[in-house]
Structure 1
């Protein structure tokens, strides 16, 4: 199958498809095989107005709209934009796939945009994923003096920023006024629970909504939006005023689940990217009310922060308090009421404490003896327990379990030298990843002592996740545990001698074939330029086509800058096209200083109350009034 070609904004010509007679069976090709091939196509530019089917030209107008709908379902949003430029029919069909994923912040225009999308007769029917980002301007509001002192500190410690962005007192006054108005508006939204009110209205209008996301972390935001959407609080984010409401993510997740409980949707996936453990410090009845509508989940991905209530303050007692809350079984009971789970990801994040038992006990978050009949994938992070507990969990699901990831896991009284052979013998896994800071306890005196002086019985290994770097021992262990041990000799690769003995023949070929991570300097700089998600949002996607005509010695800094400029221009054009299409469909002007991308919607619907409170900065008539506070 050749590439499906579209593009060249402004040239509204029908699209061309070309098929190759590679698997010709009596001159017929199944529609399924054609559509499967289309799922990997890339739209690049317009061509002729013919659809060529084994040498027989056919006008695109003769293809039934039902087929075009199916073809369109395989395209990403960027290609949909070009697809809609072909003609009226393509524009109408492509509109159904423009917004499969909708995201918003606690921001007036975001809530207006969400309401507008929910009222659109086409867009609303095809929204499948909704993400609520927990970023807000930090509370309480900084005073004028604090605002100026913060600016002064940033200028003092950043010479480049001082040269480029130092403010006069009058400019700083105007900036503080914008900050004050924004935070007053935010407080008005929070006090009035406008996000809850809007969500309760819009969720029933998304009949095909399957996924709810809540994210309190910046990396997740950037990954979801691929850097294409200007964030509503970006101005204050750059100045260090944007964080997450404390406790982290608690209010945001509570709002999302309360809205869903009010008007339950047929949600199958729940992804919570960082919520503070205090979210679960409430009555069992209240938690049951929030999670009962999610009883039919097939996937749950839950990241829980075990750090201080406020990341700006250290609390050495947070871990112990968290462990006592989960020991009561709140999370365990929630998961037990989701019998259809196929994917279970549980992360206990604690970046401050580096001790072995820095997470929670396995039996406190997963009911001992409980069985999910269809569970295919387990990922655990920051969990402690005995190897017998872990193997009991894995063995109960061995008939369906095919993917296993353990990171920052501690075996409190047993050894990894016993657990890994059990995984190899008793499970049949297609994907295994054991990474992070791994702790265990030596069980046999004949085993080599641990690496820490004075603690010979403590097993310690540190393997970075495969997304970040190559590690021969980690990859060898993964191969050792896969497929019931059929792809690796029965010799545990927990020492360098064994790793070096088998790595070349049993591990490296597999990694190369899978193209998981083949790092060198060129790859590193390619990833900086194109991102780890590649051109088509595929992890570690190759960029060979971009460089096939360029030798290693032909790229200098100017060339790299030109390439960057071209990519930026391409993204900018996508923004413009998207904004124009959304304005045409919804009749709403863009906002966020005219560069909002997907967020370019919005008259208030429902109308929100005007902000209240005193947001006026002190009057400054000249640049000489506060020289003691603002200095170069």
Structure 2
């Protein structure tokens, strides 16, 4: 098992590849520490899905992955989480005062790397001497985030990265609360979840990376996207970048859905879809096998935000369509 040569003792690499397909991604990555051969096998199996945030270290890691000769060929899915630190920078005293917040206090405490000794969490607010290093890291990440947003560095990272992922088949933009911990959990600052303009930014950054990349994407998923994305300009960019999709899953927030207390009229969304933008978009995806379109209804105003006619051109046929799911869309039947 300690061989570093081209072959493993007794069995060809292909058998080990099959055996390693049963490992979790984390286990496959750990396998890479055994030997050079195992490092290559682990690289094939351990990085099939890459999840990242608009977060400097994540974008740097994405750069390293796409420049690795083996890993870059085996990435099949990328998940872009639409969450950022709140856009108000906190002074040290404001930041320390935040450690009184029960939720933030426990969130930071449960993060493995939070730059704070365990003894500090015995009282709130945390003593200044203990919170200093954490605050400096917060300041660094916040400054880095502001620079990324100001200079569109996320667009440039994806433009450089996506064309190198020759095995990429699936992209997800998640504007819901992520299932995994975010890198921002280590700080006494609020996180913007389901932030409408950020979801739009993530979609446009991904499309910027896909455009002219030569990548033949099979699946596109967008979760809890703001309905402002339903416009001819954005949908045209998506259709050009994703023209050969086999599966699409889009979930939009209705105009009357609460976002940080914001509420508006469902009729605004109906008006925005009656210009046939959605119909034209879906008709430009002729290879679809799965069409999944959802609108998240309001708990207060039970009105359909979209008509079936606004989504599908009457008489249009997808030759390979085998599954269709339409949620909270008005039809005649």
Q: TM-score, normalised to structure 2's length? A: 0.81
Pair 145,62 (structure 1): closer, same or farther in 2 beyond 3 Å: closer
The CA deviation at 1:179 is: 3.8
Say what the alpha-carbon RMSD is for the aligned residues. 3.4
Selected match of 1:77 from 21, 25, 49:
25
Selected match of 2:284 from 331, 334, 337:
337
Given that residues 249 and 291 in structure 2 are in contact (C-alpha distance below 8 angstroms), is that contact kept between their aligned partners in structure 1?
yes
The CA deviation at 1:247 is: 2.8
What number of residue pairs does the alignment pair up?
317
2:319 is aligned with 1:377: no
2:163 is aligned with 1:204: yes
Distance 1:89 1:368 in 2: 56
Distance 1:257 1:267 in 2: 11
Gaps of 5+ in 1: 1-11, 15-59, 388-632
The CA deviation at 1:327 is: 1.8
Pair 181,165 (structure 1): closer, same or farther in 2 beyond 3 Å: farther
Following superposition of structure 1 onto structure 2, how do residues 349-428 of structure 1 map, counting pairs within 5 Å?
Answer: 349-350=296-297, 352-387=298-333
Question: Equivalent residue for 1:186?
Answer: 145
Pair 313,262 (structure 1): closer, same or farther in 2 beyond 3 Å: farther
Given that residues 255 and 269 in structure 2 are in contact (C-alpha distance below 8 angstroms), is that contact kept between their aligned partners in structure 1?
no
Question: Equivalent residue for 2:182?
Answer: 231
2:240 is aligned with 1:292: yes
Question: Equivalent residue for 2:175?
Answer: 216
Selected match of 2:215 from 265, 281, 297:
265
Given that residues 30 and 42 in structure 2 are in contact (C-alpha distance below 8 angstroms), is that contact kept between their aligned partners in structure 1?
no
The CA deviation at 1:173 is: 7.6
Distance 1:202 1:333 in 2: 29
Distance 1:156 1:338 in 2: 44
Question: Equivalent residue for 2:48?
Answer: 100
The CA deviation at 1:80 is: 2.7
Pair 373,148 (structure 1): closer, same or farther in 2 beyond 3 Å: same
What does the per-residue CA deviation read over 1:465-484, in whole Å, with 9 as the maximum and x for residues that have no partner? xxxxxxxxxxxxxxxxxxxx
Following superposition of structure 1 onto structure 2, how do residues 103-252 of structure 1 map, counting pairs within 5 Å?
Answer: 103-142=51-90, 154=101, 164-168=122-126, 170=128, 174=132, 178-218=137-177, 221-222=178-179, 227=180, 230-236=181-187, 239-247=189-197, 249-252=199-202
What does the per-residue CA deviation read over 1:406-432, in whole Å, with 9 as the maximum and x for residues that have no partner? xxxxxxxxxxxxxxxxxxxxxxxxxxx
What does the per-residue CA deviation read over 1:128-175, in whole Å, with 9 as the maximum and x for residues that have no partner? 1111111101224456786577555x359999x9x8451157369846
Selected match of 1:324 from 267, 271, 274:
271
What does the per-residue CA deviation read over 1:205-229, in whole Å, with 9 as the maximum and x for residues that have no partner? 11111111111112xx31xxxx5xx
Query: SS of 2:282's equivalent?
Result: helix
2:259 is aligned with 1:311: yes
2:230 is aligned with 1:276: no
Distance 1:305 1:344 in 2: 18
Given that residues 133 and 216 in structure 1 are in contact (C-alpha distance below 8 angstroms), is that contact kept between their aligned partners in structure 2?
yes
Query: SS of 2:197's equivalent?
Result: coil
Distance 1:247 1:271 in 2: 17
The CA deviation at 1:354 is: 3.7
Q: Find the structure with the greater CA-based Rg.
A: 1
Q: TM-score, normalised to structure 1's length? A: 0.45
Query: SS of 1:383's equivalent?
Result: coil
The CA deviation at 1:73 is: 4.0
Given that residues 248 and 310 in structure 1 are in contact (C-alpha distance below 8 angstroms), is that contact kept between their aligned partners in structure 2?
no
Query: SS of 1:370's equivalent?
Result: coil
Distance 2:103 2:226 in 1: 34
Question: Equivalent residue for 1:549?
Answer: none
Query: SS of 2:320's equivalent?
Result: coil
Given that residues 349 and 359 in structure 1 are in contact (C-alpha distance below 8 angstroms), is that contact kept between their aligned partners in structure 2?
no
Given that residues 247 and 309 in structure 1 are in contact (C-alpha distance below 8 angstroms), is that contact kept between their aligned partners in structure 2?
no
Question: Equivalent residue for 1:63?
Answer: 11
Query: SS of 2:193's equivalent?
Result: strand
Distance 2:151 2:88 in 1: 17
Distance 1:132 1:165 in 2: 36
The CA deviation at 1:333 is: 1.3
The CA deviation at 1:88 is: 4.7
Pair 105,78 (structure 1): closer, same or farther in 2 beyond 3 Å: closer
The CA deviation at 1:364 is: 1.2
What does the per-residue CA deviation read over 1:469-501, in whole Å, with 9 as the maximum and x for residues that have no partner? xxxxxxxxxxxxxxxxxxxxxxxxxxxxxxxxx
Runs of 4+ in 1 over 6 A off after TM superposition: 143-146, 156-159
Query: SS of 1:247's equivalent?
Result: helix
Pair 87,363 (structure 1): closer, same or farther in 2 beyond 3 Å: same
